[in-house]
Amino acid sequence: MICNICLKFLYHWVDLLDRFDGILCDAGQTVENMSWLLVCDRPENGQLKALLLAVLNFTALLIEYSFSRHLYSSIEHLTTLLASCDMQVVLSVLNLLYVFSKRSNYITRLGSEKRTPLLARLQHLAESWGGKENGFGLAECCRDLPMTKYPPSATTLHFEFYAEPGPEVKVERKTSSNTLHYIHIEQLDKISESPSEIMESLTMMYNIPKDKQTLLFTHIRLAHGFSNHKKRLQAVQARLHAISILVYSNALQESANSILYNGLIEELVDVLQITDKQLVDIKAASLRTLTSIVHLERTPKLSNIIDCTGTASYHGFLPVLVRNCIQAMIDPLMEPYPHQFATALFSFLYHLASYDAGGEALVSCGMMEALLKVIKFLGDEQDQITFVTRAVRVVDLITNLDMAAFQSHSGLSIFICRLEHEVDLSRKECPFVIKPKIQRPSAAVESEDMDTDMESCIMMRAIFVDQIKGNFKPVIN
């Protein structure tokens, strides 16, 4: 399916996207007489929620492998669905937004009436919970620990806001009409009502400004679900996704210091070091967040990332992790790492190698030898070619810094053997079809003597072949 999508423009799917828009609209409607409870969050609408999740996940694939992404017109519904009580819905929306932010400038090109509310909700999701020094380190939040290990504020709602007093209160003209109010509710997780129902009650009790209500709801949802390990993991993952989206969307100008605070990189690395195999999605999200920070900050944060991950040392955490991942990839007796984690890891390596400091660190830890093993291994699985392509890209970048390592590990010979292997497979699976043209005058014959059907190559192999051909020129020179 993905290979077929690769060659399509988004307008080819406009009829299906119109149907999807209707489903998103229905799911994001509010229940009658309630302004914070979405239709998809009603217990009796489980079938609609399942359909909604399927639509969001398919759309993410479609956006990733299609062109003309600017044609997508359901962004308002995605913004609305970020206020769902179900964090699985929120995560699916964030996954789609992540694809938009990384693959295109779609979010940055939105009109202010659409971009502003979306970025506001993303910033609420991405804000710090207090940091490791206050007992809210990301790794600690990911562990299934008793609530006594977390500060009492984890399940406490404390929200301050300025609001105009009600009409029954008389205020002199010379004084400010805004007064400070606060909402303080301890052990919010013990309340049986849903976050939406709690929000409805509070908006009836307090005159909360409209521009503060989404922030309040985000705090309610987090405090209400924090004691539940599954919901807490979803909240951590949502926070990491939101950070990445904001970074790729260039939307952190005013809040960069509060969201990308000192110590965040160490917390992300701590998450990667957790041995629990059930946290694959969280670890992949941590790698994607680190990748986005490299993309944004470049030199200022890059040295911190290199130090925290031990990239410059052969026995550092990241080099050991990469070598273990590669060994599991090429050893049939070992269980391979999950696809999404391996993909995020190779993507991180590529972005790291894109800068001189990162490339030099990868050279220092001997990454060349490990990456050439990926290229040399002639696996049968189709997914393997994507990792080979990523490995070629990283090798291409660090070869400019260390040609001797490339030559000493027979890099050129490995590249040639791999290229021959992929070409042979392409000929067997999709042999080239040469279509001779009808003979024309000599001037035309010289330029159009034959037409090669370029669709005969599988897309992923075509990308790989193009990448490895591009790598030959600097190596030969």
Tens digits of pLDDT across the chain (477 residues)? 444 444 478 888 999 999 999 999 999 999 988 899 999 999 999 999 999 999 999 999 999 888 888 899 999 999 999 999 999 999 999 999 999 999 889 999 999 999 999 999 999 999 999 889 999 999 999 999 999 999 999 999 999 998 766 544 444 443 445 788 899 999 999 999 999 999 999 999 999 999 999 999 999 999 999 999 999 999 999 999 999 999 999 888 777 788 999 899 999 999 999 998 889 999 999 999 999 999 876 557 899 999 999 999 999 999 999 999 999 999 989 999 999 999 999 999 999 999 989 999 999 999 999 999 999 998 766 678 889 989 999 999 999 888 899 999 998 999 888 888 878 877 776 665 444 444 444 433 333 333 333 444 455 555 555 565 565 555 555
Cα 136 versus chain centre, distance: 22
Q: Is residue 40 a contact partner of residue 49, using CB atoms and an 8 Å limit?
A: yes
Token pair of 95, please? 């996954």
How far is residue 102's CA from residue 295's CA, in Å, rounded to a whole number? 10
Residue 371 structure tokens: 């990456």
Token couple for 190: 């013990």
- pTM over 0.75? The answer is yes
Q: At what angle do helices 339-353 and 317-330 cross, to 10 degrees?
A: 130
Contact 217, 38 (CB under 8 A): no
Find tokens 């790698």 and name the residue: 287
Q: Which residues contact 229 (CB under 8 A, 6 or more apart)?
A: 144
Q: Which residue has the tokens 């042999």?
A: 431
Question: How far is Cα 85 from Cα 231, in angstroms, rounded to an integer?
Answer: 10
Residue 448 and residue 459: Cα distance in Å, rounded?
Answer: 24
Q: Rounded to the nearest 10 degrees, what angle do helices 356-364 and 339-353 cross at?
A: 110
Nearest-CA neighbor of 102 among 56, 69, 58? 69
| Torsion, CA 470, CA 471, CA 473, CA 475, rounded to 10 | 180
CB 245 within 8 A of CB 98: yes
356-364 helix and 367-376 helix, angle to the nearest 10 degrees = 80
For residue 42, the SS3 value is coil
